[in-house]
């Protein structure tokens, strides 16, 4: 590796050299450094446009890296304690799908919690692997899905010894972690790979006061959403692999779906963000923890709200809690999370990550400022004073255990008919229905449509959740598997 250190950023260096070498560009992109699109250049800035280059020998090639991208990926692997790292420019969705598609073939089983991101079930639709779902625990007070119990994982493994892999959320969107070390031990006893969806866990690698990271726990692959909490540009991500995995095969699988036109703005941002996290991550996360801890305490003093944290830890379904997450339960003030989300944005100019039917989530980072934290706390206080009402009639749970009738691929590609959602009870769903964010399906292809699920969908629509997944953009009709 030419004696590179974590201080180096090989992709950035190569880009800067190209920018200054006065090349005449008879290659793509056609905007030619912004000269061909003045409005876009003025909007994004000349530097940005000139750095938007195509693969060429001095810049390496993302599909088959042999020089600067290879070096940057090696530095990332070292930073995250992995054997190999792959830069992903199709979002963490592509990293999750590459994990599943390289661990399982059509017809093979993968054990996973049902509260996975849609990207995991999308992978099953594409490659034909079969899910063995573990229902996560549920916190009755908060109505949120928790982690997987080790006992439930053990039971699923013993009943499905032919499964190829176990997928774990580390952490969930709300900050909840399963006992990853024990799950890894169990899975490895039965020669199964452990895949970690760390879309919300990049920072776990850079501070010892947080729950264990996937690579430190011995997991075989991890999808790390560098853009969420690691400081890179939106859509950039890293796929990590460990010793049990044929990384050259993983690269082939990544190349089945990843673009051949790797965006160098995204790639260089991964390079620079990795350096920043290695050099400054521990201190940045300490600052983040200070912000989130202060906000949690102040919000809990307001009454009515419940900003939950490490007190949920029970050694099992909540084995660890990521305290950088500011998750706040809102139902006791008589408002759904999505209603508080809308009020914060529309009346107070505050954009949070998401609101669901019982909670809101604010993503805190070292990029925040004291003034903004105080604005959030004050706004929540005002919302309570102005809008608090009786909580009667509010839904009290986020998670509904699914009834699986057929595999996701079989259902998605089956002959389907479209019908009004309210008349679909008892039919087999042929598509997805979800609130976004967080993008966890309420219904996935192959699942039975029950009255419980229909009531939830209707309630979420009434409260203003952003619903996605169906062919019908208005979410009034649903495609169901045609009855024979």
Q: Of 326, 357, 387, which marks where a domain is finished?
A: 387
CATH number at residue 465: 3.90.105.10
Residue 472 lies in a domain: yes
Rounded Cα distance, 443 and 432, in Å:
5
Number of structural domains in the chain = 2
State pLDDT tens for residues 328-372: 999 999 999 999 999 999 999 999 999 998 999 999 999 999 999
pLDDT of residue 21: 81
CATH number at residue 372: 3.90.1150.10
376 and 442 fall within a common domain:
no
pLDDT of residue 2: 58
Q: Of 387, 420, 445, which marks where a domain is finished?
A: 387
Residue 348 lies in a domain: yes
Give the distance between the most distant pair of CA atoms in the chain. 68
350 and 315 fall within a common domain:
yes
Residue 420 lies in a domain: yes
434 and 348 fall within a common domain:
no
Is pLDDT above 90 for 244?
A: yes
381 and 412 fall within a common domain:
no
State pLDDT tens for residues 128-138: 999 999 988 88
Rounded Cα distance, 474 and 467, in Å:
8
296 and 379 fall within a common domain:
yes
State pLDDT tens for residues 424-448: 999 999 999 998 878 889 999 999 9
Is pLDDT above 70 for 1?
A: no
Residue 96 lies in a domain: no
Look at phi and psi of residue 217 and say left if phi exceeds 0, alpha if psi is from -120 to 50, else beta: alpha
447 compared with 394, residue with greater pLDDT: 447
Residue 392 lies in a domain: no
Residue 168 lies in a domain: no
417 and 468 fall within a common domain:
yes
pLDDT of residue 405: 95
426 and 475 fall within a common domain:
yes
300 and 382 fall within a common domain:
yes
State pLDDT tens for residues 138-178: 888 898 899 999 999 999 999 999 999 999 999 999 999 99
Rounded Cα distance, 101 and 3, in Å:
34
Is pLDDT above 80 for 397?
A: no
296 and 383 fall within a common domain:
yes
Is pLDDT above 70 for 25?
A: yes
Here the tokens at position 87 are: 């830069």
pLDDT of residue 140: 82
428 and 473 fall within a common domain:
yes
Average pLDDT, integer, range 409-420: 97
Residue 477 lies in a domain: yes
Residue 319 lies in a domain: yes
**pTM surpassing 0.75?**
yes
Range of the structural domain that residue 438 is part of: 408-481
Here the tokens at position 64 are: 């088959």
Confidence of residue 455 (pLDDT cuts 50, 70, 90): very high
Say what percent of the chain tops pLDDT 70: 99
329 and 419 fall within a common domain:
no
3-state SS string for the chain: CCCCCCCCCHHHHHHHHHHHCCCCCCCCCCCCCCCCCHHHHHHHCHHHHHHCCCCEHHHECCCCCCCHHHHHHHHHHHHHCCCEEEEECCHHHHHHHHHHHHHCCCCCEEEEECCCCHHHHHHHHHHCCEEEEECCCEECCCCEECCCCHHHHHHHHHHCCCCCEEEEECCCCCCEECCHHHHHHHHHHCCCEEEEEECCCHHHHHCCCCCCCCCCCCCCEEEECHHHHCCCCCCCEEEEECCCCCHHHHHHHHHHHCCCCCCHHHHHHHHHHHHHHHHHHHHHHHHHHHHHHHHHHHHHHCCCCEECCHHHCCCCCCCEECCCEEEEECHHHCCCHHHHHHHHHHHHCCCCCEECCCEEEEECCCCCCHHHHHHHHHHHHHHHHHHCCCCCCCCCCCCCCCCECCCHHHHHCCCEEEEEHHHCCCCEECCCEEECCCCCEEECCCEECCHHHHHHHHHHHHHCCCEECCCCCCCCEEEEECCC
415 and 373 fall within a common domain:
no
State pLDDT tens for residues 376-385: 999 999 999 9
């Amino acid at each position: 590796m030419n004696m590179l250190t974590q201080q180096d950023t090989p992709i950035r260096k190569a880009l800067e050299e190209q920018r200054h070498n006065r090349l005449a560009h008879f290659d793509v992109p056609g905007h030619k450094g912004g000269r061909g699109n003045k409005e876009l250049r003025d909007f994004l800035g000349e530097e940005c446009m000139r750095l938007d280059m195509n693969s060429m020998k001095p810049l390496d090639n993302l599909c088959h890296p042999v020089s600067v991208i290879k070096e940057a990926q090696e530095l990332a692997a070292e930073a995250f304690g992995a054997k190999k790292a792959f830069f992903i420019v199709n979002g963490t969705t592509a990293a999750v799908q590459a994990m599943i598609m390289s661990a399982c073939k059509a017809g093979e089983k993968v054990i996973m919690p049902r509260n996975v991101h849609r990207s995991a079930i999308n992978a099953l639709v594409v490659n034909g692997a079969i899910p063995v779902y573990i229902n996560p625990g549920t916190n009755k007070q908060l109505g949120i899905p928790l982690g997987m119990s080790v006992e439930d994982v053990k039971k699923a493994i013993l009943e499905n010894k032919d499964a190829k892999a176990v997928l774990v959320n580390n952490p969930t969107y709300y900050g909840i972690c399963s006992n990853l070390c024990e799950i890894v031990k169990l899975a490895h006893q039965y020669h199964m790979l452990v895949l970690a969806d760390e879309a919300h866990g990049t920072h776990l690698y850079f501070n010892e006061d947080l729950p264990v990271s996937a690579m430190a726990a011995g997991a075989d692959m991890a999808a790390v959403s560098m853009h969420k909490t690691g400081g890179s540009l939106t859509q950039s991500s890293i796929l990590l692999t460990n010793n049990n995995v044929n990384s050259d095969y993983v690269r082939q699988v990544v190349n089945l779906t990843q673009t051949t036109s790797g965006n160098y703005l995204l790639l260089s941002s991964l390079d620079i963000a990795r350096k920043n996290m290695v050099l400054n991550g521990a201190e940045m996360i300490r600052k983040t923890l200070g912000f989130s801890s202060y906000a949690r305490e102040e919000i809990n003093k307001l009454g009515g709200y419940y900003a939950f944290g490490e007190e949920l830890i029970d050694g099992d379904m909540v084995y660890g809690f990521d305290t950088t997450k500011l998750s706040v339960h809102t139902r006791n003030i008589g408002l759904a999370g999505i209603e508080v989300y809308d009020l914060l944005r529309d009346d107070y100019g505050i954009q949070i990550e998401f609101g669901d039917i019982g909670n809101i989530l604010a993503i805190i980072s070292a990029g925040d400022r004291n003034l903004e934290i105080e604005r959030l706390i004050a706004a929540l206080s005002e919302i309570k004073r102005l809008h608090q009402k009786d909580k009667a009639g509010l839904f009290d749970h986020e998670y509904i255990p699914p009834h699986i009738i057929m595999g996701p691929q079989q259902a998605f590609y089956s002959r389907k008919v479209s019908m009004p959602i309210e008349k679909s009870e008892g039919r087999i769903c042929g598509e997805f229905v979800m609130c976004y964010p967080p993008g966890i399906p309420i219904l996935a292809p192959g699942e039975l449509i029950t009255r419980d699920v229909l009531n939830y969908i209707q309630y979420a629509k009434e409260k203003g959740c952003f619903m996605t997944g169906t062919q019908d953009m208005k979410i009034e009709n649903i495609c169901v598997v045609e009855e024979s």
